[in-house]
Structure 1
Amino acid sequence: ANASDDWLLACIVFAIVAALSVYARGFLRVVPVIVGLISAYLIAMLLNRVDFTAIKEAKWVAVPAFTLAKFSLQSIITVAPLALVTMIEHIGDIVAIGATVKQDFAKDPGLSRTLLGDGLATCLSAMFGGPANTTYSENTGVLVLTGVWNPLIMRIAAVIAIILGFMPKIGAVIQSIPIGIIGGVSILLFGMISAVGIRTLVENQVDFSQPRNLIIAAVILVLGLGGASLPLQFGQISLTLEGMGLAAIAGIILNLVFKKSDAR
């Protein structure tokens, strides 16, 4: 989301979320993002910057349109390379989340199991015509802000999300949130992700006096935070590689090209 679409709303939601994260106590400290979104949304309503057309037309309760999967070898061959991108993003998110909650998820339960779970979830979704699943880096920022990462709470949130999926009216409300508000929250969340990454580098005592390490870190930060994108074409499917996925691939390539033994 682009904060420049509405800098006023972006700054408002940023200020509210940041203030609650730093100064709030008790329950408000746990839900700064939600409170910030709701507050900024109400302000946007007062400023007449919310379109209620879709909300009025949406039903309160409806069953999503499920479609059965159809086997197509050509489609599978076309989409298969894209799995590499999501796998890299998955690994990056797992490492970042592990650094946030002080647990090494790469070892327990292990990347093999987390990747398997992600893949099985995507297969199950595809059986009913749903989209592929992927990890979202923004969620790592939410974990840092709220300090809440109890698996039970995540499961309850997942059940609530499933229930809300049968309520188009709620979905229409979410879609009506101005882009500027989402952009303002994204600034904070992506900043948190970057801070977690820097903390990981410091804790692992990465030697930045080595040009190799400095170059790799610089490229990753610029590509990950600078809004760089790489459009790709696989047959009739177009994909834009950006954010953590692009930064991770670039980092892996540079890590292989500039080997430690070559560093001075």
Structure 2
Amino acid sequence: MKKFLSAIPLSLQHLFAMFGATILVPALTGLDPGSSLVASGVGTLIFHLITRGKVPTYLGSSFAFIAPLALYVGELKSPGEAVAGLISVSIVYAIVSLIITFVGFEKVRKVIPAVVVGPVVSIIGLALATTAVTSMASVNWDIAIVSLFAAIIATLAGTKTVRLFPILIGLVVGYVYAAVRGFVDFDTIAAAPVFSFPQFIMPEFTWVVILGMAPIALVTIIEDLGHMFVLNEITGKEVTKDPGFPSILWGNGLATLISGFIGGPAQTTYAENLGVLAITRQFSSRIIQGAAVIAILLGLFGKVGAAIQSIPVAVMGGICILLFGMIAAMGIRHMVEEKVNMANMKNLVIVAIIFIIGIGYAHNGIAYATIAGLLIYWLVPDFTTKNER
């Protein structure tokens, strides 16, 4: 029982890390936030079941599908078509998983060199920098800075126990400071319903929605691969080998399928939670599963969810500066550990192109940057001398 209670704060850190982005997607598309929270929790538990608890990551709302979901749910008021689109997405996941199983992941892995993996990992964090700084922290810089410094001090100067909870400490300190400043809206908590239940939605298949949403799955699959490379770096384990990338895709695809039926968006592995792993060094999948259970409860109990929603965006911004920065740093560490020669001009060009496309392209930049890096690596000749390599 003592071990269970001590794990709750660790689970809460993962909950807070994913909460803002998971809630933002339904806010932008017209989906129900409570249903999206339940979908993320259920999807994460399904993912962990498929991957046998060997991949400590959380699944939340995917940003890649915002445009089509906003069209079908928000504008056309046709959630059934949105569900049909998500079903087609899950089918693409299944097909790609079968292909990789047949071909072998090692053959797929060999075509992705360290000089591509490193910067792709970095841009997963850097691509979120604008969200953390411009959209969140800059709302109230003093609140963001207080939250950030509380998390940094807990990470670097705290006791062994304190270093386990830097995100939670940063959030609590930032929340209290924001409340004193008068930036916490307690009326939202009072107005929230006590209970809120997701509704089952039947799909309405059309070729338009299938052709419009299914191809986007290829983008999120590449993003998943990048996240798994980050996870490999953080944990020191090859989760792409055990349980294997095909199992990861099966889990993500099934999570998206179930999410659609209960009114949630497409699910994807979350970089935010990878940042928590990098800081706390606590890799137990039980902790992530605990966060998933709490997310489900929050989705069903409106007032508790509203209390978390009352956390000022600047508090989350300060925390996210640290989380996203840690992911960016992991990519640099990967290139250092793999001894990538940055004096080689071709390597320098690959990294440069990946960084600019990945950070500069607002939507799906990670996928496009990965493709660009691979094309340059494999198709452009290296005219440098042997000594320069």
TM value normalised by structure 2: 0.60
- 2: CA distance, partners of 1:32 / 1:159: 21
The residue that corresponds to 1:233 in the other structure is none
2:192–2:303 contact (8 Å) kept in structure 1: yes
| Equivalent position amino acid for 2:351 in 1 | A
The residue that corresponds to 2:213 in the other structure is 79
- Cα gap change, 1:176/1:223 in structure 2, threshold over 3 Å: closer, same or farther? farther
- 1:21 matched to 2:21: no
The residue that corresponds to 1:197 in the other structure is 331
- Cα gap change, 1:229/1:9 in structure 2, threshold over 3 Å: closer, same or farther? farther
| Equivalent position amino acid for 1:229 in 2 | Y
- 1:262 matched to 2:381: yes
The residue that corresponds to 1:229 in the other structure is 361
- 2: CA distance, partners of 1:223 / 1:147: 31
Residue identity over aligned pairs, in percent, reads: 38
Of 225, 238, 250, the residue aligned with 2:369 is 250
* 3-state SS in 2 of match to 1:140: helix
Deviation track 1:24-47 (CA, whole Å, cap 9, x = no partner) reads: 123321111112112201111110
Deviation track 1:204-252 (CA, whole Å, cap 9, x = no partner) reads: 111111112112223334455x5x334xxxxxxxxxx1xxx41342132
5+ residue gaps, structure 2, are: 1-130, 385-389
Of 234, 237, 241, the residue aligned with 1:103 is 237
Instruction: Give the deviation of 1:105 after TM superposition.
Output: 1.4
- 1: CA distance, partners of 2:234 / 2:287: 17
- 2: CA distance, partners of 1:223 / 1:175: 33
| Equivalent position amino acid for 1:79 in 2 | M
- Cα gap change, 1:170/1:72 in structure 2, threshold over 3 Å: closer, same or farther? farther
* 3-state SS in 2 of match to 1:186: helix
Deviation track 1:61-94 (CA, whole Å, cap 9, x = no partner) reads: 3323443333333212111122122111111101
* 3-state SS in 2 of match to 1:134: strand
- 2: CA distance, partners of 1:189 / 1:61: 32
1:41–1:177 contact (8 Å) kept in structure 2: yes
User: Matches of residues 115-134 of structure 1 in structure 2 within 5 Å?
Assistant: 115-134=249-268
- 2: CA distance, partners of 1:94 / 1:102: 11
- 2: CA distance, partners of 1:249 / 1:229: 8
- 2: CA distance, partners of 1:67 / 1:128: 6
- 2: CA distance, partners of 1:220 / 1:257: 10
Instruction: Give the deviation of 1:60 after TM superposition.
Output: 2.6
1:216–1:251 contact (8 Å) kept in structure 2: no
1:58–1:169 contact (8 Å) kept in structure 2: yes
- 1:162 matched to 2:293: no
- 1:63 matched to 2:182: no
2:199–2:262 contact (8 Å) kept in structure 1: no
- 1:181 matched to 2:300: no
- 1:39 matched to 2:158: no
| Equivalent position amino acid for 1:90 in 2 | D
| Equivalent position amino acid for 2:178 in 1 | A
- Cα gap change, 1:42/1:222 in structure 2, threshold over 3 Å: closer, same or farther? farther
Instruction: Give the deviation of 1:152 after TM superposition.
Output: 1.9
* 3-state SS in 1 of match to 2:346: helix
Task: Kindly report structure 1 stretches of 4+ aligned residues shifted beyond 4 Å.
Answer: none
* 3-state SS in 2 of match to 1:130: coil
For the aligned residue pairs, the C-alpha RMSD in angstroms reads: 1.9
- 2: CA distance, partners of 1:106 / 1:205: 21
- 1: CA distance, partners of 2:264 / 2:203: 9
5+ residue gaps, structure 1, are: 231-240
The structure that is helix-richer by fraction is: 2
Instruction: Give the deviation of 1:257 after TM superposition.
Output: 2.8
The residue that corresponds to 1:235 in the other structure is none
Deviation track 1:141-199 (CA, whole Å, cap 9, x = no partner) reads: 10011111111222222222212221111222222222211111111111100111111
The residue that corresponds to 1:10 in the other structure is 144
| Structure possessing the higher relative contact order (Cα contacts under 8 Å, 6 or more residues apart) | 2
| Equivalent position amino acid for 1:88 in 2 | I
- 2: CA distance, partners of 1:70 / 1:177: 37
The residue that corresponds to 1:212 in the other structure is 346
1:10–1:182 contact (8 Å) kept in structure 2: yes
- 2: CA distance, partners of 1:223 / 1:98: 24
